[in-house]
Homo-oligomer: A and B are copies of this chain.
Amino acid sequence: MRSRKRANLREVALKAGVSIATASRVINKSGSVSEKARVKVNAAIEELKFVPSAAAKAINSGRTRTVGALVPTLDNAIFARFLRSLENEFANSGLSLVVSSTNNDPELELERAKKLVQIGVEGLLISGTDHSQEFHELIEKVQLPTVATSFYDPDYHLPTIGYDNKQVSQKALRYLVGLGHKQIGVIHGPTANNDRTRARLAGLNELAEDVVFVFAETEMTVEGGCEAVILFLNSENRPSALISLSDVQAIGAISELKRQKLHVPGDMSIVSVDNLPASQFLEPALTTVNLPVAEMGEYAARAISGWIENNERPESILLPAEIMIRESAVALHQ
């Protein structure tokens, strides 16, 4: 029942008194067109507020100039920063960004991916390694340039742009061990369908040596961080320091520790992973391993546009993740 108002090329050509081929040539500045015709067509375009249909363009050229990004969630500021970089960089290349969130659910991811393929995205950005078999088959079959982010693995079957998640958590651990901590509580989000969390946990276990871990898997929310602290305080081997695998959980943990009248870092040190914009302004300022998500967005966007434009498959890129030493962790006082 919607009134179709958008003008099409035929109407433009009619109004300008030329053929649609000539009108098309004016719009695309292709082929030679006389000055008279050009002027008439441009006037008609202006008058009709004609905007060429990307769908019709796409159907001829097979090109949509659109890229899809599948992110686990938009809820975390860390992904917002990533998207911002992406969008910025893609806009510079004349590409549009379609965003879909997957909630770390491979089935939902597959569904959203199909939608993106329907739209005709020319490239795809995904997070991590946990995807359904059918998802892999789909991007394989449609030959969709796809870059996996948030981790680095040069042997992965797709180009990867990200950090080494094992090292990320190990940086946090080494710092705490260097401060003398041996009883460490680890707060992390769900491991199901989240390879990055699993990799970070694996990194910790590999480097365990003479530290004892207590693990708490909670939701990746502020409340999840609170819960984890309560678990630790009730556990028999109470840790002297915490590693949180996300800043949001760390924020919750600090807040719960304060509520329990424990001083951070005096009574409990905490080191985290993410480095959200607000983290350095917490009290105490959060010591956390910075995930270079803005750079990741930039590199990933460039990798995808290069792949699309020049058909050259990008190389994997390892981005450094540095620990930002601030105030939330101190040496263990015996």
Contact = CB atoms under 8 A, between A and B. Distances in A.
A222 B281 contact: yes
Contacts of A97: 98-100
Given A75-B80, A282-B283, A142 B91 contact: no
Nearest to A103: B88
A115 B96 contact: yes
Contact of A80 (B51, B52, B79, B248): B79
B51 A114 contact: yes
B278 A3 contact: no
Interface stretch (A11-19, A116-124, A229-237, A317-325): A116-124
Interface string A62-94: 101010000001111101110110011001000
Interface stretch (A53-61, A149-157, A179-187, A203-211): A53-61
A36 interface: no
A222 B254 contact: no
Contacts of A77: 77, 80, 277
A119 B66 contact: yes
Interface in A4-43: 4-6
A214 interface: no
Nearest to A96: B98
Interface residues of A, number: 66
Nearest to A62: B4
Given A5-B142, A53-B59, A59-B59, A74 B83 contact: yes
A174 interface: no
Contact of A56 (B52, B59, B222): B59
A2 B55 contact: no
A87 B84 CA distance: 16
A141 interface: yes
A126 to B, nearest CB: 16
A142 B49 contact: yes
Interface in A258-282: 276-278, 281-282
A281 B1 contact: no
A138 interface: yes
Given A5-B141, A62-B4, A142-B6, A118 B51 contact: yes
19 contacts: A1-B311, A6-B143, A49-B141, A53-B58, A55-B64, A56-B59, A74-B80, A74-B84, A75-B81, A77-B277, A79-B80, A80-B83, A87-B99, A96-B115, A97-B99, A222-B277, A276-B278, A278-B278, A278-B282
Interface of A: 1-6, 48-49, 51-59, 62, 64, 66, 73-77, 79-81, 83-84, 87-88, 91, 96-101, 112, 114-120, 137-138, 141-143, 222, 248, 251-252, 254-255, 276-278, 281-283, 308, 311
